[in-house]
Structure 1
């Protein structure tokens, strides 16, 4: 009897618990799969040509990401403008890219987020001749190298020249690759040339040491910074490039843009967070680049910036720059931390499901037990109704046998202890029905004898 009772109780529990577990498992799977999927194990970053500063930055990021189990694929490109176009093309497969400041105005930036600016990119204007140049307006009528067609350098040069009234109608604007500047200026095949490069770049170093080639000190640098929010005023101090040769020969004022790391808005937040950590590690503390050279215009803690004048800024990156890596990632590997994070988010979805389930499960269990007792009450009621229409002693005796069948079934009914009172009430009602049938049968017998 006890084993039978345990078996029935176990079945009742399973009929309630199993659907609850299925609902919880389904909600968990849906949340993890769709609401908060696992981050990809690969990120594609568009840099520039191999050997460029952008490419070297990307290689340093790769070391940080691979340390956390994420592969970084670095793609070569034609520069910032090509990078921006790749980011805007959903079919390019590019997740992140370096973008030079000043390119957002004439390009679609919808769906893109900045992780901050990571370095200055000075604008150099080299020129031939002994007469010092201090303003871009002085380049009217000159032959001017403006960088490769469609490049970030060309875009910035044309924009600044246009602001000074210099166009193809008032000067000869020449598109050319940057490494060729040295020979073109040295041979006087061009009068001036725009470059957007770091001071340690090979082309800049060659031009700084080429006789009869000079570079402009902007007299109105502050005006450019005020007019164009993505520009800054920098000062290259006397002799800082080469103390022995005293390069430059005097303090020189430059204007500079900054380079941003931009990602797709759809990039998984965990990868955005990890990439922001890489930016902070690579650019946040040291002012020495990967070649061991001091970055002249950067001070420790200046980059990466927690804002951007052209792109919407990533909340994930802002959290990293404000508070550092997420708490879990400081103690456990990246993938463990993201898995725990996903499970925590799953709980947010599961709690509204679990509360009503846990609330109604006991009620469902109670209903199932009461339903067994109510079933036999129904049988008892039907028997009494049939007994009222019985007219002979034999019919009433048959109803008593049916009542005994009901009583035997109730005696074997598996009912938990908490519902025992209802079971005993049912037995009392069975006994009451027996008395009525017995009295009615006795009356029928007496009537028959008389």
Structure 2
């Protein structure tokens, strides 16, 4: 009968075990990323993330969507591993944030002459045709949030137009207002910004609006932010802005979290025209459960081990540290109490006999019967042998010696009474 050598079996079992363990240690090579409208602002940022992750052999597969609302839906359904989400767009499924990564200004443009006059107070808007982004886009969600915050009662028509189509609709007449949620560098903004018949609407009561629109901030746009020759805008403006967040599934591999946060730092830490350097990424104002590893990376920076170990090894070490830290805090009081508990357990092996020694002492004091006294003396002799047979550590042998001395004194007293 053919027998497989034991060495071969051991090698095979070791290989299987190593493969099984590596499934949880090594990161996946492909990550699905919901990136918004193809060639839009989110898409262009996601492409920069894609290039950075490719350096570590990770394929960031970009999923084109209608915008933040569809991104959130894909995340809730588990059809995307990570995504960019506009501030204020809700998402379920336990999705966690990896941090806010940039501020999106809410850019509202209206014709400065001809057509409907657009008030700076959105509460006065009524009967307007607003190019408000496609259904499922973050722009449309932001427009609805703004109208709700302003308490608009009049009917307005939300046109499913965004990007270049929205700019053209405002220039050609089908739209009275065009709203964009986009970085100032978005290419489709250039023609509308340079059009002298179009104005950037400065919202009235912007502080009150910012406190009513979820996850909004006030953005300072300096003069010349779009262009310096001529300077556009001509003077400083305050606009509403929403914080864009990077989100991930709650079970995302920590090494992928590490690489995504690293990409966000490389892309966004330098700041832009409306954001000072070093502000992003941040965990402030994210309104979602925070990924613990991403939170520590943003707060403390990369581990010192990163200089010596691969990123995926460091990520696993950091993950275990995060998990073990609460356990250590719980065990620390117990660890401090262990020496005392050990000493008590050793002493108790001797001291538990003292209860019976005391009973014998009291019984001997209450009787003069020789037979009873001899029986008590015999019991003391048995206790003495039992204590002498205890295996105690050397530092604790003194407890046994003291107990045997007490027994010896009591035996002598009982012998004298019996005589």
After TM superposition, the score normalised by the length of structure 2 is 0.67
Q: Distance in 1 between matches of 2:120 and 2:320?
A: 61
What is the root-mean-square deviation of aligned Cα atoms in Å?
A: 3.3
What secondary structure does 1:312 align onto? coil
Match of 2:55 in 1: 67
The reply to whether residue 270 of structure 1 matches residue 258 of structure 2 is no
Q: Which residue, out of 248, 251, 276, partners 1:299?
A: 276
Question: Structure 1 pair 69/144, CA: closer, same or farther in 2 (3 Å)?
Answer: closer
Match of 2:415 in 1: none
Match of 2:112 in 1: 129
Match of 2:307 in 1: 330
Q: Distance in 2 between matches of 1:159 and 1:109?
A: 19
Match of 1:395 in 2: none
Match of 2:230 in 1: 245
Match of 2:221 in 1: 236
Instruction: Report how far residue 192 of structure 1 moved.
Output: 1.2
Does the CA contact (< 8 Å) of 1:127 and 1:216 recur in 2?
A: yes
Q: Distance in 2 between matches of 1:256 and 1:74?
A: 25
Q: 1:419-438, aligned counterparts within 5 Å?
A: none
Match of 1:38 in 2: 26
The reply to whether residue 102 of structure 1 matches residue 88 of structure 2 is yes
Please list the CA deviations of residues 352-385 of structure 1 after superposition, one character each: whole Å capped at 9, or x if unmatched. Answer: xxxxxxxxxxxxxxxxxxxxxxxxxxxxxxxxxx
Q: Distance in 1 between matches of 2:45 and 2:131?
A: 27
| Structure 2: tracts of 5 or more residues without a match | 1-6, 326-419
Q: Distance in 2 between matches of 1:281 and 1:45?
A: 18
Does the CA contact (< 8 Å) of 1:114 and 1:308 recur in 2?
A: no
Q: Distance in 2 between matches of 1:249 and 1:269?
A: 46
Match of 2:384 in 1: none
Please list the CA deviations of residues 307-357 of structure 1 after superposition, one character each: whole Å capped at 9, or x if unmatched. Answer: 343211111111111222233322233355467779999x99xxxxxxxxx
Q: Distance in 2 between matches of 1:69 and 1:60?
A: 15
Give the structure, 1 or 2, with the largest relative contact order (CA under 8 Å, sep 6 or more).
1
- Choose 1 or 2 for highest CA Rg: 1
Does the CA contact (< 8 Å) of 2:25 and 2:313 recur in 1?
A: no
Q: Distance in 2 between matches of 1:141 and 1:110?
A: 38
Does the CA contact (< 8 Å) of 2:224 and 2:234 recur in 1?
A: yes
Instruction: Report how far residue 163 of structure 1 moved.
Output: 2.6
Please list the CA deviations of residues 20-73 of structure 1 after superposition, one character each: whole Å capped at 9, or x if unmatched. Answer: x99x979x7699368x54321222211123322322222222233222232222
Instruction: Report how far residue 75 of structure 1 moved.
Output: 2.1
Q: Distance in 2 between matches of 1:321 and 1:342?
A: 15
Q: Distance in 1 between matches of 2:27 and 2:58?
A: 9
Does the CA contact (< 8 Å) of 1:49 and 1:76 recur in 2?
A: yes
Match of 2:95 in 1: 112
Match of 2:141 in 1: 155
Q: Distance in 1 between matches of 2:227 and 2:302?
A: 39
What secondary structure does 1:313 align onto? coil
After TM superposition, the score normalised by the length of structure 1 is 0.62
Does the CA contact (< 8 Å) of 1:277 and 1:324 recur in 2?
A: no
Instruction: Report how far residue 133 of structure 1 moved.
Output: 3.3
Please list the CA deviations of residues 153-182 of structure 1 after superposition, one character each: whole Å capped at 9, or x if unmatched. Answer: 111101211232336x52233222331222
Q: Distance in 1 between matches of 2:189 and 2:38?
A: 18
Match of 1:403 in 2: none
What secondary structure does 1:73 align onto? strand
Match of 2:346 in 1: none
Question: Structure 1 pair 99/344, CA: closer, same or farther in 2 (3 Å)?
Answer: closer
What secondary structure does 2:191 align onto? helix
Q: Which residue, out of 63, 69, 80, partners 2:68?
A: 80
Does the CA contact (< 8 Å) of 2:222 and 2:274 recur in 1?
A: no
Q: Which residue, out of 186, 190, 202, partners 1:217?
A: 202
Q: Distance in 2 between matches of 1:344 and 1:32?
A: 18
Question: Structure 1 pair 144/64, CA: closer, same or farther in 2 (3 Å)?
Answer: closer
Q: Distance in 2 between matches of 1:139 and 1:344?
A: 54
Instruction: Report how far residue 191 of structure 1 moved.
Output: 1.4
Match of 2:166 in 1: 181
Q: Distance in 1 between matches of 2:207 and 2:286?
A: 17
- Number of residue equivalences: 312
Q: Distance in 2 between matches of 1:330 and 1:53?
A: 34
Q: Distance in 2 between matches of 1:252 and 1:246?
A: 13
Q: Distance in 2 between matches of 1:173 and 1:166?
A: 13
| Structure 1: tracts of 5 or more residues without a match | 1-17, 288-294, 349-450
Q: Which residue, out of 127, 131, 138, partners 2:124?
A: 138
Q: Which residue, out of 266, 274, 291, partners 1:314?
A: 291
Q: Which residue, out of 177, 181, 195, partners 1:192?
A: 177
